[in-house]
Structure 1
């Protein structure tokens, strides 16, 4: 009997090894990939300005100063490099007459942006004329404000000042002109 015990042990070990070797692994579940795409929407670069402003009154030979109201640049281009420059220029101011005594030339209209009143987004926002001492005449286009670095969507607002030198020879009346802001 001593010889049978080792034989039976060998048989049991061999049977276990065969069962393990022939057992198949759990079958893999079927799979498939889906490519997902989407668009990050972009919009435009815009500028918003007050429709009109009345700066009050002053006598010939005096200087009239007042704020124009909030100007806002909205950059919704979602660009990797979201820089822009806002420019400003003025027309002549007149009473509707071509009489030289009823015309104030744009070089007598000075502008300063002042600092930003609000900004959103990242980057560097730069006022064109931070203080009154930096004011510029609007006879030619001037930089009003700019964004010189950063990305993504952003906004900047400022409340610019106008200073109009009324010539001593000016005739009394209601003068009207246009200050145009643009952005690119």
Structure 2
């Protein structure tokens, strides 16, 4: 089940519903660049994923890829961001036929700005990583929906439904 969107901040220092989406300009798959400025003037989906070519991230990316026709009809671009190096992102995109931009934030500045670089715990071991998060941003650059700690099955369909109300 996909978590309910929230108006609360997803993590300390993160953006909240109604706040401006932090600016970014990042290199993306296949020689592209993606920036908040280039997306301004239309709604857009921004999702953060932990690691390319892992099971959850693959399912999530493939669900978004499968949803592009519906999102395209609403003129809503999708952008994925991880901390992976570009070679890993491009191999992932090629392997699964992902057409939308996958950006790299190796320095972590955008991840920090959105509050998705958080302390995680697995088997009692604490480490820093990306919290799977999706944001829907309106044409004026304001965050309208936030999905925290995303569970992948059905998530893209829920995002499409929300995006349709903005287009």
Normalised by the size of structure 1, how large is the TM-score? 0.23
Larger radius of gyration: 1
- Looking at secondary structure, tell me which structure has more strand per residue: 1
Normalised by the size of structure 2, how large is the TM-score? 0.24
- Looking at secondary structure, tell me which structure has more helix per residue: 2
